[in-house]
Structure 1
Amino acid sequence: MTTNLSDTIQNIRFVSRNLIRELGFLNKTIAGTGLPGSFVHAIVEIGTSGELTAKELSERLLLEKSTISRLVRSLIEREEISESRSLVDARQKNLRLTEKGEKTLTKINHYAASQVREAISPLSESKQQEIFTGLASYCAALQNARNKSPSDTQISPPENLIEIRRGYLPGIIGDITSLHATYYNSLVGFGDKFETAVATGLTQFIPRLENKQNEIWSIVQSDKILGSIAIDGEDLGAGIAHLRWFILDKKLQGTGIGKTLLKTALQFCDTQKFNQTHLWTFKGLDTARALYEQNGFSLMEEYSGTQWGKQMTEQKFVRSLPSKGNA
């Protein structure tokens, strides 16, 4: 059956209104917090990033500067966030969650995760991914339209469609290696040693995807891999999953897709009944650490070394298989 554009527009508007109602955005407060929606979104964005400037928060929430100023002032008065001068630029103030704000964020995350889990857990994995892909595609289309200049009336192809794909993809070793090499060279100056180690590890792992305890997921946009995560269920011994190659292109950071990618991998670990999931990262990646800890990981070890050509402190995080009561 063919549906014309006018009907599709009306159908999308109808579903969008229902979605807003189901998520509770017509209420004065949301997520069981007693806070309005803009406050909740601000707390989530600041908590997820570790810290943000008011300008960055304005860009994330798509709110005007004056609105953000009032919002920030109210959250400071409520002792949900704190404000401090940047050590890099004295003219700039950084916003961080207070201890009270961290508790509010935990409450928000628990409420939201429970809401989504209750809705999608009866569905198949393919249906769950279909929901995510559809929402991500629609969000990207809205963003594309918002960023388009008024004179640009030509309809663009759906090049912003973002998908999470499972398993081997052509070029996966080179693309994931490039993402790691570029990111860590820019961040801390890693060179050929690090890039070679990533490529070697992937080359050894990819052929083992035929074993059911191993899996890899990629974020794909316009047939280009812009992110990845893998679970290696063999290299650390029986009952232990190794979370590897978790990386996200800079332009996708802060969109929430990294959270979805991590949760997808951890759901796989729990389905496979791994007793523990281990990962290694570097000290100082505070946003990543917050994400790991929100998902049940705890810091177990720290040690310094120069194996990547620079003095770095590596960290080992461990997550145990959730009990049924906490799943």
Structure 2
Amino acid sequence: MPATHLDAVRAASRRLVREFGFMHPTLAGSDLSPSSVHALVEIGNRGSMTAAELCDVLLLEKSSVSRMLRKFIAAGQLCADASPRDGRSKTLALTPKGRETLAAIDAYARAQVAGALEKLPADVHGKVLYGLSTYAGALEAYRRRSVAPVSAVSINSGYRPGAIGRTVDMHARYYSRTVGFGAFFESKVAAGMADFVSRLEHPRNEIWLALEEGNVIGAIAIDGEDLAAGRAHLRWFIVDDGRRGGGVGKQLLAAALAFCDETGFAETELWTFSGLDAARRLYEAAGFVLDREFTGSQWGKEMTEQCFIRPGRNNAPNEP
């Protein structure tokens, strides 16, 4: 990762710490320390915990947790009973007073998060969740020296409701930001996809969607009709912002090219623009080579367009 990215992530992390109030002696509108607030939240969310379990979750020393728990018990926020699993341990649970304290903490925190999300477009809320949860998981994996958890992403062939709109949206946002394309580009992508999806029943046409928890985060299509016989056109290849570099694009491309080989296309063609270096590396790693390029403005802005070709991988006969 470039040093500028490392410094930017560190700066964003410090801002989060400050905005959430961790620099103050108390947290979440209460008179409790940050560690005490976290302890009540974890015990409340789980119903009950032992002191040892709380130490593991909060990453605190046993002596620090013991002092905290004694104060909670003395204040009537927690009760401690013998653990049914281990008589040497105590099971900690919130008292009615503790539940009232937790309810106030939750209300404060929910209002804080809801207020922040209201400042963002609704379509990026999922990205915030994904980014924060993935980064937190990666930090934990680094601490444990283990492999970072990865959200399950599935590659699914065929149309599903919303596929056209979501794919067009990802294209419009990405190319607006990277090369300055506008409404003309978006409308052409939408019209092309609408026409293609109406032809999906043809056995030489297919679309694949990358799904995470039911949400489309990537797409790719093979159009086997719009070029000369025996040639496949790879189209509408896109991965959502914030998901690039995690292997989703590679999985989509692999699925599309496997289809091309199984169908027996003599070659697969794709068009892209000069300067999209990460995408070019992915194409070349999959066997594509630059065939030709020219300057054109068919997408609403003058660009250097490039055509890449990948030869077929088997000798299966091509349909007429």
| Residues paired across the two proteins, number | 186
Contact 2:204 2:224 in 1 (8 A): yes
Partner of 1:270: 261
3-state SS, counterpart of residue 188 of structure 2: helix
Gaps (5+ residues) in structure 1? 1-51, 61-139, 150-157
**Which residue of the partner structure matches residue 2 of structure 2?**
53
Please state if 1:255 is matched with 2:246.
yes
Residue among 305, 308, 312 paired with 1:317:
308
Q: Which residue of 2 aligns with 1:117?
A: none
| 1:111-260 aligned within 5 A | 143=134, 146=137, 160-260=151-251
Whichever residue aligns with residue 202 of structure 2, its letter is: N
Q: Identity over aligned residues, as a percent?
A: 49
Using the alignment, how far apart are the partners of 1:175 and 1:227 within structure 2?
Answer: 9
Offset of residue 293 of structure 1:
0.9
Partner AA of 2:216 in structure 1:
I
Q: Are the aligned partners of 1:159 and 1:221 in contact in 2 as well (CA < 8 Å)?
A: no
Post-superposition Cα deviations, 1:53-100, rounded to whole Å, max 9, x if no partner, equal: 25658999xxxxxxxxxxxxxxxxxxxxxxxxxxxxxxxxxxxxxxxx
Deviations 1:171-225 (A, max 9, x none): 1111100000010001111011100110000110002111111000011123221
Letter in 2 for 1:258: G
When the two chains are superposed, the root-mean-square deviation of aligned CA atoms in Å is 2.9
How far off is 1:259 after superposition? 0.8
Post-superposition CA distance 1:256-276 (Å, at most 9, x none): 121111011000000000001
CA contact (8 A) 2:218 2:237 kept: yes
Instruction: Confirm whether residue 297 of structure 1 aligns to residue 246 of structure 2.
Output: no
Counterparts of 1:294 and 1:160, CA distance in 2:
25
1:174 counterpart letter in structure 2: G
One-letter code of the match for 1:167? G
Return the alpha-carbon distance in structure 1 between the equivalents of residues 8 and 203 of structure 2: 42
- 2:208·2:220 contact (CA, 8 Å) conserved in 1? yes
Q: Is the 8 A contact 2:206 2:223 kept in 1?
A: yes
CA distance in 1, matches of 2:136, 2:177: 31
The amino acid across from 2:281 in the alignment is A
Instruction: Assess if the C-alpha contact under 8 Å between 1:159 and 1:222 holds in 2.
Output: no
Q: Measure, in 1, the Cα distance between the counterparts of 2:220 and 2:163.
A: 11
Match of 2:40 in 1: none
Alpha-carbon distance change, 285 to 272 in structure 1, aligned in 2, over 3 angstroms: same
Give secondary structure in 2 for the equivalent of 1:274: coil
Distance, in Å, in 1 between the alignment partners of 2:243 and 2:252 is: 12
Q: Any conservation in 2 of the 1:229–1:261 contact (CA below 8 Å)?
A: yes
1:118-165 C-alpha deviation (Å, 9 max, x unpaired): xxxxxxxxxxxxxxxxxxxxxx9x94762699xxxxxxxx99432211
TM-score by length of 2: 0.53
How many Å separate the matches in 2 of 1:55 and 1:313?
Answer: 29
- The code of the aligned residue for 2:304 comes to T
5+ long unaligned stretches in structure 2: 10-130, 141-148, 316-320
In the alignment, the residues of structure 2 paired with residue 220 and residue 273 of structure 1 have an alpha-carbon distance, to the nearest angstrom, of 27
Cα distance in 2, alignment partners of residues 310 and 210 from structure 1:
34
AA partner of residue 299 (structure 2) = W
TM-score, normalised via structure 1 length = 0.52
Contact preservation (8 Å) 1:167, 1:217: yes
The match for 2:68 is none
1:245 and 1:167 map into 2 onto residues whose CA distance is 14
Tell me if the contact between 2:155 and 2:251 (Cα under 8 Å) persists in the aligned partners. no
Max Rg structure: 2
Structure 1 residues 217 and 59, CA gap change in structure 2 (3 angstroms): farther
Aligned mates of 1:224, 1:54 — CA distance in 2: 32
